[in-house]
Amino acid sequence: MRARRGVGLRAAAALGVLGLVLAACSGDSGKSSLPTPSKAFCQAAYDYDTNLPKLIGKIDKQTALVQKLADHAPKDIAADAQTYLDAMRRRAEGDKSVVDNPKIKAAVENVNRRAADGCELYKQNQDGTGGM
């Protein structure tokens, strides 16, 4: 049973990492017409991006990172950030239906894309400066 739980947790973390990769690859070269997200959201996105790969199997810590994103999400993705957070909480409680849910995948991709594009996440220095 524990091995299955680990697989599900890895799948949840992989979903988040996959979303960041897709967002980085799909961004267009033009500037977004959306306002720049708050510094708090961009810092949460940076923390999420740099820490999530180290937290495979630690769903409570993953959820805490997503909580910070949801707390500071710009209005245009606030509902998606809440969907992502709710899915992480449900997964922590053992709900496996959230892993392959298209609605949740879309919400994760929207949050990650907004973070990557709005915060210029991939132009930042390791200390979080630049790009924000």
Question: What is the tens place of the pLDDT at every residue in 36-89?
Answer: 899 999 999 999 999 988 999 999 999 999 999 999 999 999 999 999 999 999
Distance CA 19, CA 5 (A): 21
Label residue 83 exposed, middle or buried (CB < 10 Å: 0-12, 13-18, 19+).
buried
Q: Any residues with CB less than 8 A from the CB of 15 and at least 6 apart, and which?
A: 99, 104, 105, 108
Residue 60 lies in a domain: yes
Residue 118 lies in a domain: yes
Residue 62 lies in a domain: yes
The one-character DSSP state at 114 is H
- Does residue 28 have a pLDDT over 70? no
Count of the separate structural domains present in the chain: 1
Residue 85 lies in a domain: yes
Sign, CA torsion 48/51/57/58 = negative
Domain of residue 96, residue span? 2-26+43-123
What pTM was computed for the model?
0.70
pLDDT at 1: 47
The answer to which of 7-11, 34-38, 81-85, 118-122 has the lowest mean pLDDT is: 7-11
Structure tokens at 63: 């959820």
Residue 130 lies in a domain: no
